Amino acid sequence: MSTTGTATLSQELVDEFNPFLAMAKRFEIAADYLGLDPGLREVLRTPNRELSVAVPVLMDDKTLKVFTGYRVQHNFVLGPCKGGIRFAPDVNLDEVRALSAWMTWKCSVVGLPFGGGKGGVICDPREMSQGELERLTRRYTASIMDILGPDRDVPAPDMNTNAQTMAWIMDTYSMHVRSTQTAVVTGKPLALGGSLGRHEATGRGVMISAREALKRLGRRAEDTKVVVQGSGNVGGIGALLMHREGYTITSLSDMYGAIHNPKGLDVPKVLEYLAENKKLTGFPDAEAVPNEVQLELPCDVLIPAATENTITSKNVAKIQAKLIVEGANGPTSFPADRVLDERGVMVVPDILANAGGVTVSYFEWVQDRMGYFWTEEVVNSRLEQIMVKSFDQVDETAKKHNTSLRIASYIRAIGRVAEAYKLRGAFA
C-alpha cells in the first residue's frame, strides 16, 4: 500500500480509527492461521442483525427529544447474544458493530455458551437527570425488546450505564412479558438477582491477566510499577485490586486529566477523593499530568481502561511499558499493534484481559435461571479458574504459532465459533 500523498495518509488514519476495520484485520490474520474458507469467513465476520431505533423521550422541561439507539447481534452460534449497552455522545454504528463482534470473540475465548451483541444510545448522560435517563432507558428497551430475552440476547452495563440502568431494563422487559425475568440482563443490583462479585469482575479479571503475564516475564508485584488509564469500573477497581496485591500504581486518570506519583498512589484514598470531587484533578500527593502524556510515563505495565483507540500510530513510539493489559475494548489500533509486536512488548488483548466482566455475567445468568445464588468466594474462585485456564490456552496457542497473544486469542475464539457453525450448518 502506498503511503505517499495526503489523500492516502488521511484515509489510513480514518481506517486506523475505525474499530470495525480494526477487528476485521485481526480476524483475517487469525482466519488465515485457521485456514478458513471464504464463505465461512464471511458468515463469521458479518453481524447477524443490526437494529437502529428512534427513542422519543419527554425531557424535564417538557420538550420531546428523539435519541438514536442501536443493538447489534453479531453472532449467536454458541448461544444467546451477550454484551453491554453504552450511553455516550460519540456512539456510532461502526463502533457498536465492532464491539458486538469483540463480544463474540470474548465469550468464545473464555469458553462461555454465548454469542456477541452490543448496544448503544447516542446521548450525553452527564447532561441528563435521573428521570430523563430512566425514561430513555425504558423506551429504548421497549423499542428493542423483540430481539431481547434470556434465551436470545442478554444486555449488561458498559460505558455510562450501571446496575440501576439494568434494573430499569429488567423491569421494562418484565412488565411487557407479564412475568419477572431477571435473566434478561446481567450486572443488576443484588436485590434483583444480581451476582456477588459482578461489580468487581472486570477489574479482577484485569488483575489476574496482569499477574499471569508478569509471571511469564519473571516479575514480582512488589517490583512492578503500573499506569492505569481510567478510574471507573474497570480501571479504578483493577487499580484497587492490584494495589492490594502489592503493585505500585503510579498513575490514574479520568476524562479531565491524569494524576501521577512515581512513588505510588494510595489508591483507596484516590478513589475516595474521586467519589467526593467527581474528578481526580487536585488530588494531593500527586502531580497533574495531561491525558496524552499519561500513556508515555515510565512504567512496567500500562493498563488502558478507558475507551477505544488510545494507543495508536501517533503515540505508540513513546510508550515505555513492557506489558500492556487492555482493560478497555479496542484501545490499541492495528498499526500500533505491529509496532508493539516488533518491539517485543507483550499485549494481553481486550477479548482476554477484560473478559472477567462477561464471565461473571454468565455466572449471574446461570444463578438467575437456577434461582440459586452462590457465595462471593465461589464466584471469585470460578472466575479465577476460567481466567487462568484461558490465559494458559492462549499462551500455548501463541507459542505454537509463534504469534502475539492477540492473534492467538482470535485464533482460539474464531476456531471455536467456526467449529460450532460447521456442526450446526447453514439453516436453509
Residue 412 as a binder of ligand GLU (CB under 6 A): the answer is no
Residue 83 as a binder of ligand GLU (CB under 6 A): the answer is yes
Q: What residue is closest to ligand GLU based on CB?
A: 84
Beta strands in 132-230 (DSSP E): 153-157, 225-229
Q: What angle is formed at CA 158 by the lines to CA 63 and CA 405, rounded to 5 degrees?
A: 150
Question: How far apart, in whole angstroms, are the C-alpha atoms of residue 379 and residue 360?
Answer: 7
Output 195 or 251, the one with its CB closest to ligand GLU. Answer: 195
Of these, 41, 71, 82, 199, which contacts ligand GLU (CB under 6 A)? 82
What kind and span of H or E run contains 288?
Answer: strand 287-289
Residues numbered 7 to 66 that lie near ligand GLU (CB under 6 A) are: none
Q: At its nearest, how many Å lie between ligand GLU and the CB of residue 328? A: 9
Residue 84 as a binder of ligand GLU (CB under 6 A): the answer is yes
Where do we find the cell 505500585?
Answer: 248
Question: How far apart, in whole angstroms, are the C-alpha atoms of residue 24 and residue 43?
Answer: 13
SS3 181: coil
Output 98 or 280, the one with its CB closest to ligand GLU. Answer: 98
- Count interface residues toward ligand GLU (CB under 6 A): 11
Residues numbered 143 to 162 that lie near ligand GLU (CB under 6 A) are: 156, 158
Residue 404 Cα to chain centre, angstroms: 19
Output 158 or 254, the one with its CB closest to ligand GLU. Answer: 158
Residue 186 as a binder of ligand GLU (CB under 6 A): the answer is yes
Residue 205 as a binder of ligand GLU (CB under 6 A): the answer is no
What is the per-residue DSSP string for 27-43? HHHHHHHHT--HHHHHH
Q: At its nearest, how many Å lie between ligand GLU and the CB of residue 354? A: 6
Q: At its nearest, how many Å lie between ligand GLU and the CB of residue 365? A: 9
Beta strands in 16-102 (DSSP E): 49-58, 64-75, 81-88
Q: Does residue 331 contact residue 310 with C-beta atoms inside 8 Å?
A: yes
Q: At its nearest, how many Å lie between ligand GLU and the CB of residue 82? A: 5
Q: At its nearest, how many Å lie between ligand GLU and the CB of residue 428? A: 31
Which residues are paired to 229 by β-bridges? 304
Nearest residue to 327 via CA among 344, 345, 310 = 310
Q: Which residues are catalytic?
A: 118
Q: Among the candidate windows 22-30, 76-84, 222-230, 287-295, which touches ligand GLU by CB under 6 A?
A: 76-84
- Any idea how long the chain is? 428
Q: At its nearest, how many Å lie between ligand GLU and the CB of residue 375? A: 20
Q: What are phi and psi of 250, to 5 degrees?
A: -95, -20
Output 349 or 357, the one with its CB closest to ligand GLU. Answer: 357
Question: How far apart, in whole angstroms, are the C-alpha atoms of residue 32 and residue 259?
Answer: 43
Output 338 or 369, the one with its CB closest to ligand GLU. Answer: 369
Residues numbered 314 to 373 that lie near ligand GLU (CB under 6 A) are: 329, 354, 357-358, 361
Return residues touching ligand GLU (CB under 6 A).
Answer: 82-84, 156, 158, 186, 329, 354, 357-358, 361
